[in-house]
Amino acid sequence: MAEAVAEAVAEAVADAALPVATPAARRGRWLIYAVLLSFAVFFLVPLGVVLLNSVRTAQEIGLGSVIGWPRGFAMENYAEAWSRYCIAQRCEGVRNYMWNSLLMTVPATLVSTALGALAGYSVSLWRFRGDTIVFTIMLMGVFLPDQMRLIPWALVLRELGLTNTIAALVLIHTVQGLSFTTLFCRNYFVGIPQDLIKAAKVDGAGFFRIFWRIVLPLSPPILIVTVIWQFTGIWNEFLYGVTFTTGAQQPITAAIIAISVSSPTDVPQYGVQSAAVLLAALPTLLVYFFGGRYFMRGLTAGAVK
């Protein structure tokens, strides 16, 4: 089977350049579409189920199955999830946790991107003694597993008196994001011709002026990529949220876990829970829909000509 597919793919790719497709090539192409489509459906099933359930009432789900076509259109699930649903004995919905997440994600994204751009600029376009060593050490941050960093962070937060605060999460995500943002920006900036920097130096510009006037205006593609990457990564992060915050201080990802531990006597609120999950995922979905284009473009862009 796999061989047949591979063969068909090879044939289709080979034939794609020809103006007139042979019947065999057409068959091959349909096979490719069919395979791709089935993968897409497979990946979208969970989202589909949650979407459908979010507009079904608890009663409807209870009488039927968790997988089913909605009979009505129960938008009250969203209202309930937003402001009334009880999560860990607090019946205020997800809105406060959403707000926590926003307070955590926006500053951490902006600060880590800004510092990463500056660090990447300095590592790529200014040679200084030991610059490769500095960069190598920063890169290690990319490969360090999160679990390893939990205890050091716990100690640091205690020393700083930031235990159970959103500020603590902002600090953690800013610092931990630096490796990635620096790497992204550095890889983009090495494509900027050295002559531009030399010309600016001869013109009399210094480190920050060159960054601000010459390098940053060339950087929107990579800045957008970095912001999207950081925003989705920090918003979706769970481990630090659940480890270092409790109760009202938790970000949405940590708080929403409490949904799954509703008491056994209750009727399962699958509809409201689905709505809550969708609300929690909404910001990253929006970022993807509006920024995804730039993301693809930014990753392949590099040369500044």
Partner 1 sequence: MAALSVRGLHKRFGSTEVLKGIDLSVENGEFAVLLGPSGCGKSTLLNIIAGLERPNEGEVEIGGRVVTGLPPRDRDIAMVFQSYALYPAMTVRRNITFGMECRGVPRARQDEAVARVAALLQIDGLLERKPSQLSGGQRQRVAMGRALVRDPLLFLFDEPLSNLDALLRVDMRTEIKQLHRRIGSTIVYVTHDQIEAMTMASRIAVMNLGRLQQFATPDEVYHRPANLFVARFIGTPPMNTVKARLASDGAALVAIVGAGRPDETRLVLPAAPEAARAWIDREVFFGIRPECISDGGRGVDFSAVKVSAEVELSEPTGAETVVLARLAGERVRARVGPHVRLNQGQSAPFLVDTRTTCLFDPASEQLIA
Residues that bind partner 1 (CB under 8 A): 193, 195-196, 198-205, 209, 213-214, 217-218, 304-305
3-state secondary structure of 236: helix
115 vs 200 by CB, closer to partner 1: 200
65 vs 305 by CB, closer to partner 1: 305
Query: Please, what is the minimum distance in Å from the beta carbon of residue 209 to partner 1?
Result: 7
6 vs 199 by CB, closer to partner 1: 199
Query: Please, what is the minimum distance in Å from the beta carbon of residue 204 to partner 1?
Result: 4
Single-letter code of the amino acid located at 173: H
Query: Please, what is the minimum distance in Å from the beta carbon of residue 221 to partner 1?
Result: 13
Helices (H), the chain: 2-16, 23-53, 58-63, 76-83, 95-125, 131-143, 146-160, 166-189, 194-203, 207-209, 220-236, 239-244, 252-255, 270-300
178 vs 214 by CB, closer to partner 1: 214
What sign has the CA pseudo-torsion 60, 271, 87, 149? Answer: positive
In whole angstroms, give the CA distance from residue 105 to residue 166. Answer: 10
84 vs 297 by CB, closer to partner 1: 297
220 vs 247 by CB, closer to partner 1: 220
- 90 phi and psi, to 5 degrees? -115, 115
Query: Please, what is the minimum distance in Å from the beta carbon of residue 200 to partner 1?
Result: 7
Question: Residue 116: which of 72, 71, 176, 57 has the closest Cα?
Answer: 176
Cβ(101)–Cβ(276) under 8 Å?
no
Query: Please, what is the minimum distance in Å from the beta carbon of residue 300 to partner 1?
Result: 18
124 vs 176 by CB, closer to partner 1: 124
Q: Please write down the long-range contacts of 301-305, taking CB distance under 8 Å and 24 or more positions apart.
A: 301/188, 301/221, 301/222, 302/187, 302/188, 302/191, 303/191, 304/191, 304/192, 304/193, 304/218
Please state the separation of Cα 153 from the chain's center in Å.
22
Query: Please, what is the minimum distance in Å from the beta carbon of residue 284 to partner 1?
Result: 31
Cβ(215)–Cβ(189) under 8 Å?
yes
And the tokens for 36? 């791709």
Single-letter code of the amino acid located at 184: F
84 vs 201 by CB, closer to partner 1: 201
Query: Please, what is the minimum distance in Å from the beta carbon of residue 180 to partner 1?
Result: 25
Query: Please, what is the minimum distance in Å from the beta carbon of residue 222 to partner 1?
Result: 14
Contacts for 180 with CB less than 8 Å, ≥ 6 apart = 116, 141, 142, 226, 229, 230, 233
